[in-house]
Structure formats: structure tokens, C-alpha cells
């Protein structure tokens, strides 16, 4: 047994331990606070909709309020809907209410659609939510959902997101994007945190904290894993290493730790492989590797720099950035290798390609008039639309419904996240008070 510490040394040790503990609690509190959402643009036409309070008895009243609030907030931030005040109908409306008598009253209030439903705690202690969507304009029901979930605030929020997705799809004809997840990097002083949240910035969870940068986030197709680049390895100062992180367990696997730089992971559509960028053989070149780190295979072979790969939805091709033609442009190549074909020709700089999940569009960063902006190209027509305003936008990522893009942007002196519809008309900003957020990736719920 070693000697007992001297009182002064013990006091100092306790002070240091207490400071470290407080730092951990402070970092956790900061990283788990939600993002603030600001709507900066709306659609040319908004659908007026009323979200009636859910009919609920006392055990489920709190969850009922949460669900309705989430539905209203989701539809509002989409920029496609305007919310008509539903008040507190008496008697309460629910999914069993006759539809026909509702039409004149809600048409007079200016609503084109009405959401009604109920919540109740079942014998098993779970929350059952029932809802229907009424088309006031046509005087008919558009169907609804029955959702059983744990009677918790988190599950009430997710129920609200699912109902908002249903409403969005029924009234716009496009899949919703609310019941999805975001991953991003949050920087507080010298601390970098890999954060996962719901699509509205709520329910934030910290997956990793490091004093070294975390970059290049990429969701697995099933929403259970994140690939990213971390510089945390102490034995290799400032060396980037590619990890795959299983969120449910916290287990991490090193996928690429070759000699030199390891960067830019991107998942294949089947979730079995990743494309990565390595300098093991000289310049940055694109390789594929199995998700467990085995089966490394080289895809591109040039004297230039090939980087920032992304798979097409069918997995047959990889789009990437290369300077092989003298400036940064986007190319595509078979996932098995071979001759690459140039995709972008407009402007002196086009980089960081991302292919939409439906395979119809490509988002990328384009330098135009000295500003770095998000561009979207229709891959069939090759028509380009600049959807962001710059001046320093980066890291575009498509929503799972292919209709929105989230990206990093610069507002004043700090980094925030911005999201924009494909036509560039509907915009939102996501920021964190006192922190910087950047490098977003948009993924599905598992």
C-alpha cells in the first residue's frame, strides 16, 4: 500500500477532479440543449390547415398536447402550410366524429384541411394515438393512423412527427421528412461533440466528445450507424482515421487507418461497404472497404486528387470530386473502377457531391462570383439551380425524402445549419446559442 497523500495534495486533487466533473456536466448540458429553428422563407402557396386538440383523458393529456404541438411546428417549418387556429372545440373532436357536419364550420374558418384524433393509455400502460385527416375542400376523410408507443415525452414527439409526415404526404403528394434524424458536430470552446437529434433539433444525444475535430459524417442506410473521421488517436497526432459508430451500443469500429490520411466515408446503399479516400499509395484516391474494415479495394487511379465520394442509390456508380482536369470538378465512375466521366462543367469550382435518395438530383458546393453556394443539378436535364445564398456554405446532405437539403452556412462570425427546399424558396436556419454547429448529415430513423 502506497503512502497517503498529503492534505494539500489531496485538496488540490479533489479540486481538479471537481473541475473536470463540472466541465463534463456543463458540456453535456450544452450539447444536449435543442437547436433553435428560424423560418426564413415559405412556399408560394401555403395550405391552411387546422390541428384540433387531441381528445384525451387525464392520464394521456400531457402527451396529447405534445403531439399536437409537434404536428403544428413540423407543418409550419415546412413552409408549405399555414396553421388555422383550431381553438378548443366543444364537444371535443376525435376520429369518431362525423365528417360531414364539420365541413361548413371549418370552411368558414378558412381551413382546407383538419386533423382530429384522440389519445388514451391502454391496459398495458402504452399510449394509443388515433387520428384522421379531413379534406375540408372536398368534404371527405383522407384516412389516418393508429400509433401505439411508450407513454413518454420522446415517443409522443415521434408520434407527432409521424402524423405530420402523413399529413404532408397526403396534401402535397410528396413523402414527409419529419420522422427523421440529424447528425452534426457541435463546437463549444475546444470541445467537439458528435450530436444526434430529431429532424427538428430536439431530443439531442451526444455520441462522442473529443478535443480533436470530428468531420465527414455519413449515416448508414438503415439509420443505426454513423461513419465519420476523427483526429482523436493520440499515438498519431493529427492523423484522420475513419470510424463506424453503432449508436445503440456506442461500439466503434476502425474502418480505415492506413498510412497517411483516411477520410470522406460514404455508405453503399446496402450498408455493407463504404467508399473512403486514402493517401496510402500517394495522392488522395478512392477505395471501397467493408463496414468491418476488411476487403479494401482501390477504385480510382490518377495522378490528381480524387476525393469526396458518394454512391448512387443503386450502388453501381460513385460520384466524386477531382482536380484531374486542372480545377475541382465532379466526376462519376463505376463502383468497380474504370474510366471516370466528368459531370460538372459550369464554373471554376464544383465539389462535395451528394446524390438524392431517389437518384434524380445532385447537390454540391459551387463557387460562383467568389461565393460558395449550394447548387442542385437535375441529373436528367443537367440544369443547375443555386439554392443557397452563400458566402460560405458547405457539406450538403439530402433529406431521406429527397426534397430538402441541409448544409453548413456562415452567419456573421459563427457556423449554423441551414435547410432549403429543392426549388430554393423555403428556408430554415438551425442554430445553437453560444455554440457553433456544422457538418450535418440527414438520416432516417432506425
Residue 343 and residue 437 in one domain? yes
Nearest to 260 by CA among 245, 292, 238: 238
Same domain for 154 and 73? yes
What is the mean predicted confidence (pLDDT) over 256-272? 97
User: Residue 234 has what pLDDT?
Assistant: 60
Per-residue confidence at 411, pLDDT binned at 50, 70, 90?
A: confident
Cell 385527416 belongs to 133
pLDDT given for residue 20 in this prediction: 34
Look at residue 44 in the predicted model and tell me its pLDDT. Answer: 78
Domain that holds residue 440: 181-444
225 lies in the same domain as 313: yes
Is residue 4 predicted with pLDDT exceeding 90?
A: no
Q: What is the pLDDT of residue 32?
A: 54
Regarding whether 429 and 323 lie in a shared domain, the answer is yes
Give residue 275's pLDDT.
98
Q: Are residues 163 and 55 in the same domain?
A: yes
**CATH number of the domain residue 99 falls in:** 3.40.50.10070
Residues 238 and 310 in one domain: yes
Handedness of CA 148, 70, 48, 98 (dihedral sign): positive
Q: Which residues contact 249 (CB under 8 A, 6 or more apart)?
A: none
> Is 298 in contact with 281 (CB distance < 8 Å)?
yes
The 10s digit of each residue's pLDDT in 45-75 is 899 999 999 999 889 999 999 999 999 999 9
pLDDT (tens digit, 9 = 90+) per residue, 368-377? 999 999 999 9
Q: How far apart are CA 246 and CA 252, in angstroms?
A: 6
Q: How confident is the model at residue 433 (pLDDT cuts 50, 70, 90)?
A: confident
Clarify whether residues 83 and 50 are in a common domain.
yes
Domain final residue, candidates 130, 145, 172: 172
Could you tell me the CATH number of the domain that includes residue 212? Answer: 2.120.10.30
Is the pLDDT at 101 greater than 70, yes or no? yes
Given this model, what pLDDT does residue 1 score?
Answer: 38
Which among 402, 401, 418, 411 has a CA at the least distance from the CA of 365?
418
Residue 31 has pLDDT above 60, yes or no: no
**3-state secondary structure (DSSP) of residue 36:** strand
Identify the residue with better confidence: 232 or 159: 159
What pLDDT was estimated at residue 45? 84
Strand 47-51 versus strand 81-84 pairing type: parallel
CA-wise closest residue to 138 among 178, 91, 171? 171
Residue range 123-133, pLDDT digits in tens: 999 999 999 99
Residue 3 resides in a domain: no
Residue 428 covered by a domain: yes
Considering the domain architecture, whether residues 213 and 346 belong to the same structural domain is answered as: yes
276 belongs to a structural domain: yes
Are 288 and 419 contained in the same domain?
yes
pLDDT classification of 33: cutoffs 50, 70, 90: low
Q: Does 193 reside within a domain?
A: yes
> At which of 120, 141, 172 does a domain end?
172
Confidence of residue 146 (pLDDT cuts 50, 70, 90): very high
pLDDT tens-place string over residues 311-353: 999 999 999 999 999 999 999 999 999 999 999 999 999 999 9
Q: How many domains does the chain have?
A: 2
Q: Is residue 79 included in any domain, yes or no?
A: yes
In a domain, 5, yes or no: no
Q: pLDDT band at 42, cuts 50/70/90?
A: confident
**Sorting pLDDT into bands at 50, 70 and 90, what band is 236?**
low
Q: For the chain, give the mean pLDDT.
A: 91
Q: Flag whether pLDDT at 14 surpasses 60.
A: no
Amino acid at each position: 500500500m502506497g503512502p497517503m497523500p498529503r492534505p494539500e495534495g489531496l485538496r488540490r486533487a479533489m479540486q481538479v477532479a471537481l473541475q473536470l466533473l463540472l466541465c463534463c456536466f456543463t458540456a453535456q448540458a450544452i450539447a444536449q440543449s435543442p437547436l433553435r429553428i428560424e423560418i426564413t422563407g415559405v412556399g408560394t402557396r401555403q395550405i391552411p390547415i387546422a390541428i384540433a386538440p387531441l381528445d384525451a383523458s387525464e392520464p394521456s393529456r400531457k402527451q396529447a398536447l405534445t403531439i399536437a404541438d409537434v404536428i403544428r411546428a413540423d407543418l409550419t417549418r415546412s413552409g408549405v402550410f399555414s396553421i388555422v387556429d383550431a381553438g378548443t372545440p366543444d364537444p371535443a373532436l376525435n376520429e369518431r366524429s362525423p365528417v360531414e357536419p364539420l365541413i361548413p364550420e371549418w370552411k368558414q374558418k378558412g381551413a382546407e384541411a383538419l386533423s382530429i384524433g384522440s389519445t388514451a393509455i391502454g391496459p398495458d400502460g402504452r399510449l394509443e394515438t388515433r387520428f384522421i385527416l379531413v379534406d375540408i375542400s372536398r368534404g371527405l376523410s383522407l384516412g389516418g393512423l393508429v400509433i401505439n408507443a411508450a407513454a413518454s415525452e420522446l415517443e409522443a414527439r415521434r408520434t407527432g412527427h409521424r402524423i405530420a409526415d402523413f399529413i404532408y404526404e397526403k396534401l402535397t403528394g410528396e413523402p414527409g421528412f419529419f420522422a427523421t434524424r440529424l447528425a452534426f458536430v457541435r463546437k463549444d470552446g475546444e470541445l467537439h461533440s458528435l450530436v444526434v437529434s430529431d429532424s427538428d433539433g430536439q431530443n439531442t444525444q451526444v455520441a462522442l466528445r473529443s478535443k480533436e475535430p470530428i468531420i465527414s459524417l455519413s449515416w448508414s442506410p438503415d439509420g443505426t450507424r454513423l461513419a465519420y473521421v476523427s483526429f482523436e488517436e493520440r499515438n498519431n497526432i493529427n492523423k484522420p482515421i475513419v470510424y463506424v459508430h453503432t449508436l445503440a451500443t456506442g461500439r466503434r469500429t476502425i474502418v480505415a487507418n492506413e498510412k497517411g490520411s483516411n477520410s470522406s466515408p460514404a455508405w453503399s446503399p446496402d450498408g455493407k461497404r463504404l467508399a473512403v479516400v486514402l493517401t496510402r499509395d500517394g495522392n488522395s484516391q478512392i477505395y471501397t472497404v467493408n463496414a468491418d474494415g476488411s476487403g479494401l479495394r482501390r477504385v480510382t487511379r490518377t495522378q490528381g486528387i480524387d476525393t469526396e465520394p458518394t454512391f448512387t442509390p443503386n450502388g453501381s456508380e460513385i460520384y466524386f470530386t477531382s482536380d484531374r482536369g486542372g480545377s475541382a470538378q465532379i466526376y462519376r465512375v463505376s463502383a468497380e473502377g474504370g474510366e471516370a466521366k466528368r459531370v460538372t462543367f459550369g464554373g471554376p469550382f464544383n465539389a462535395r457531391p451528394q446524390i438524392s435518395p431517389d437518384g434524380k438530383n445532385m447537390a454540391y458546393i459551387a463557387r460562383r462570383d467568389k461565393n460558395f453556394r449550394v447548387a442542385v443539378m437535375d441529373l436528367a436535364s443537367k440544369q443547375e439551380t443555386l439554392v443557397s445564398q452563400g458566402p460560405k456554405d458547405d457539406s450538403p446532405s439530402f433529406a431521406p425524402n429527397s426534397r430538402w437539403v441541409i448544409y453548413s452556412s456562415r452567419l456573421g462570425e459563427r457556423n449554423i445549419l441551414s435547410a432549403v427546399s429543392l426549388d430554393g424558396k423555403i428556408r430554415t436556419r438551425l442554430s445553437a446559442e453560444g455554440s457553433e454547429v456544422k457538418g450535418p448529415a440527414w438520416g432516417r430513423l432506425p
